């Protein structure tokens, strides 16, 4: 039965990858296709993937529809827009007999793919708004639960953690990093990852604004590169929100008077910043009653768990805690805004030599498909969240003013408009080919890194189990270009 369950789970994951990743590419190209037809342009080919075709057919509209072998994106062959014969193949029409499109048409058709990706993200965002966006309950606060004594740096050497050296303590709440406000752990991770701060000696440096009790002050930390992605880390874990699920009838939790969504904030008057803090106090039930302080709405209440010698009942309360995933309900606009901010900050960090973000932190289609496959096993909300991120990423990436990408077509059209005549065909074709080679090279390198991530044997970098902070998703979700 377990084998059948695993097989069905994998088949479902493959289906979701095809549906949502393939669908994201299809939506992008559909935007170009519909805009081109609406503006009266000739369409040679509509392809999902690059390279030789797997199969194809010709529609009544004369367009060749095909599925190609290299799933690095897709394209709609529009010979009037740009001469892409070196990438997309020969056209069926004599270019000299096709009327040149207007500047407005070129801009509309080029921008249509990104526009459709944003519309697709918005529609998915409506669904996520209703069912909830999944977030780890340990990511929802910026309060420190545990400070690690050591971290493993990028060379594999165990060193004192920057957090312990700076004097960060459990219970500290991080308000700002380098002057930028943070309210939850995901923002803390991203601020560190994108940070470009350095001291006069060139060492990495971040200023944490801390609230400790009634005091607010600054701590200067010197992050090190650590973890699987070699990003800036300081070595601490965040507070987990210990909330009660619906108590089971007759359970110790129900008898104590706890109700759904009660948040345990202390046990025996000691703050419960993590599950381990709670466990340590619950074990004392063998010696006497244990008091739990809970937050119920705007009220704080104290309940008592009676002593017991039953080993199962001692920790039974853990079975009535909510799972590690909490669902929030941001609006579609907020979801798109968050995804866009991650993408823009990643691109900015790539161009900033003072940060530690580089091409090795990006993902190729291999990595994106791998992420889809993993998240598909976690549940549909995870897949929808990631699809929104990928679509916003795809839209922004393709609008960059780089030849081959949609933004590059707009750039060439704008230059031609300003100079009053078309750019030389040979110049455009050569430039497109050069940048296509560069982009493919980048994707091949990113693909190699993705394969290493998934098959890594731990010989030259620290293993996952030494990470104390997850990497921001935005550093690993730059999809392959889809070009018209």
pLDDT tens-place string over residues 188-197: 999 999 999 9
pLDDT-above-90 percentage for the chain: 47
Give 60-70 pLDDT, tens digit per residue.
888 999 988 87
More confident of the two residues 355 and 2: 355
Helix (H) or strand (E) holding 13: helix 2-17
Q: Where are the domains of the chain?
A: 2-133+377-476, 138-238, 252-314
Closest CA to 472 of 293, 228, 250: 228
In this model, does residue 92 exceed pLDDT 70? no
Return the number of other C-beta atoms located less than 10 Å from residue 319's C-beta: 13
Give the Å distances, CA to CA, from 154 to 94, 196, 203, 224, 480.
Answer: 56, 18, 15, 8, 28
The greatest distance separating any two alpha carbons of the chain, rounded to the nearest whole angstrom, comes to 92
Strand order from edge to edge, sheet including 206-212: 180-181, 173-177, 206-212, 215-221
Cβ(93)–Cβ(24) under 8 Å? no
Question: What's residue 72's pLDDT?
Answer: 62
Question: What's residue 408's pLDDT?
Answer: 94
CA–CA dist 181, 444 (Å, integer): 37
Question: What's residue 96's pLDDT?
Answer: 65
In this model, does residue 466 exceed pLDDT 50? no
In this model, does residue 483 exceed pLDDT 60? no
Contacts of 261 (CB under 8 A, 6+ apart): 243, 244, 296
Residue 461: strand pairing partners = none
CA–CA dist 345, 343 (Å, integer): 6
Four-point Cα dihedral 188, 345, 481, 41, nearest 10 = 130
Same fold, 138-238 and 252-314: yes
Question: What's residue 95's pLDDT?
Answer: 63
Of 80-94, 109-123, 153-167, 273-287, which range is least confident? 80-94
pLDDT band at 459 (very low <50, low <70, confident <90, very high): very low
Over its C-alpha atoms, the chain yields an Rg (Å, rounded) of 27
Closest CA to 262 of 246, 273, 278, 276: 246
Question: What's residue 467's pLDDT?
Answer: 31
More confident of the two residues 316 and 268: 268
In this model, does residue 138 exceed pLDDT 80? no
**Residue 164, Cβ density class (10 Å: 0-12 exposed, 13-18 middle, ≥19 buried):** middle
pLDDT-above-70 percentage for the chain: 90
**Residue 218, Cβ density class (10 Å: 0-12 exposed, 13-18 middle, ≥19 buried):** exposed
Q: Tell me the range of 16-30, 165-179, 462-476 where mean pLDDT is highest.
A: 165-179
CA–CA dist 188, 145 (Å, integer): 14
Mean pLDDT of 181-207: 92
CA–CA dist 348, 83 (Å, integer): 30
Question: What's residue 475's pLDDT?
Answer: 33
Query: DSSP alpha helices (H): ranges in 39-102?
Result: 85-88
Mean pLDDT of 173-200: 92
Closest CA to 48 of 21, 86, 79, 80: 21
Give 245-256 pLDDT, tens digit per residue.
888 888 888 888
More confident of the two residues 18 and 113: 113
Query: Burial letters for 418-456: b for 16+ Cβ neighbours within 10 Å, e otherwise?
Result: eeeeeeeeeebbeebbebbeebbebbeebbebbeebeee
In this model, does residue 91 exceed pLDDT 70? no
Question: What's residue 296's pLDDT?
Answer: 93
In this model, does residue 308 exceed pLDDT 70? yes
- Indicate the SS3 state at residue 466: helix
Give 328-354 pLDDT, tens digit per residue.
899 999 999 999 999 999 999 999 989
Domain 138-238 adopts which CATH fold?
Pdz3 Domain (2.30.42)
Give the Å distances, CA to CA, from 81 to 42, 43, 112, 294, 428.
Answer: 9, 10, 13, 64, 11
Closest CA to 358 of 476, 461, 454, 437: 476
Domain 252-314 bears CATH identifier 1.10.3470.10: no
In this model, does residue 223 exceed pLDDT 70? yes
- pTM of the predicted structure, to 2 decimals: 0.81
Question: What's residue 81's pLDDT?
Answer: 81
Give 432-455 pLDDT, tens digit per residue.
889 989 988 988 888 888 888 777
In this model, does residue 93 exceed pLDDT 70? no
In this model, does residue 458 exceed pLDDT 50? no
Residue 204: strand pairing partners = 198
Cβ(314)–Cβ(285) under 8 Å? yes
| Mutual angle of helices 23-38 and 103-131, in 10-degree steps | 140
Question: What's residue 89's pLDDT?
Answer: 57
Average pLDDT, the chain: 85
Question: What's residue 94's pLDDT?
Answer: 65
CA–CA dist 413, 423 (Å, integer): 9
Of 227-236, 257-266, 304-313, 349-358, which range is least confident? 304-313
CA–CA dist 96, 101 (Å, integer): 13
Going 290 to 294 to 299 to 303, the CA torsion angle's sign is: negative
């Amino acid at each position: 039965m377990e084998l059948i369950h695993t097989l069905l789970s994998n088949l479902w994951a493959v289906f979701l990858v095809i549906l949502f990743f393939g669908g994201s590419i299809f939506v992008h190209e559909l935007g170009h296709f519909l805009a081109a037809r609406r503006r009266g342009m000739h369409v040679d080919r509509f392809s999902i993937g690059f390279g030789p075709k797997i199969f194809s057919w010709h529609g009544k509209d004369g367009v060749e529809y095909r599925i190609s072998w290299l799933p690095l994106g897709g394209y709609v062959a529009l010979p009037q827009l740009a001469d892409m014969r070196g990438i997309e193949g020969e056209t069926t029409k004599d270019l000299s007999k096709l009327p040149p499109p207007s500047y407005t048409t070129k801009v509309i058709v080029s921008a249509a793919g990104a526009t459709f990706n944003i519309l697709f993200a918005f529609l998915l965002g409506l669904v996520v708004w209703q069912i909830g966006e999944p977030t780890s309950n340990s990511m929802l606060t910026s309060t420190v639960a545990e400070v690690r004594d050591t971290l493993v740096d990028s060379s594999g050497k165990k060193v004192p953690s920057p957090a312990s050296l700076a004097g960060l303590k459990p219970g500290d709440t991080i308000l700002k990093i380098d002057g930028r406000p943070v309210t939850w752990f995901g923002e803390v991770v991203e601020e560190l990852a994108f940070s470009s701060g350095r001291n006069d000696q060139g060492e990495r440096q971040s200023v944490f604004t801390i609230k400790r009790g009634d005091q607010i002050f600054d701590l200067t930390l010197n992050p090190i590169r650590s973890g699987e992605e070699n990003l800036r880390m300081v070595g601490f874990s965040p507070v987990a929100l210990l909330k009660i699920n619906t108590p089971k009838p007759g359970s110790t939790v129900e008898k104590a008077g706890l109700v759904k969504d009660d948040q345990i904030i202390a046990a025996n008057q000691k703050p419960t910043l993590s599950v381990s803090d709670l466990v340590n106090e619950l074990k004392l039930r063998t010696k006497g009653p244990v008091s739990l302080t809970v937050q119920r709405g705007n009220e704080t209440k104290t309940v008592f768990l009676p002593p017991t010698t039953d080993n199962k009942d001692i920790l039974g309360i853990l079975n009535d805690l909510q799972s590690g995933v909490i669902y929030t309900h941001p609006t579609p606009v907020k979801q798109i805004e968050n995804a866009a901010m991650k993408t823009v900050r990643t691109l900015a960090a790539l161009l900033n030599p003072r940060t530690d973000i580089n091409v090795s932190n990006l993902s190729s289609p291999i990595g994106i498909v791998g992420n889809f496959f993993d998240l598909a096993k976690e549940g549909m909300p995870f897949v929808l969240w990631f699809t929104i991120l990928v679509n916003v990423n795809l839209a922004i990436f393709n609008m960059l003013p780089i030849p081959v990408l949609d933004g590059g077509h707009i750039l060439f059209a704008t230059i031609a408009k300003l100079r009053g005549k078309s750019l030389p065909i040979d110049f455009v074709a050569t430039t497109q080919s050069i940048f296509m080679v560069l982009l493919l090279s980048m994707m091949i390198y990113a693909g190699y890194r993705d394969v290493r991530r998934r098959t890594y044997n731990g010989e030259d970098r620290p293993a996952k189990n030494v990470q104390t902070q997850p990497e921001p998703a935005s550093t690993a979700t730059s999809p392959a270009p889809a070009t018209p």
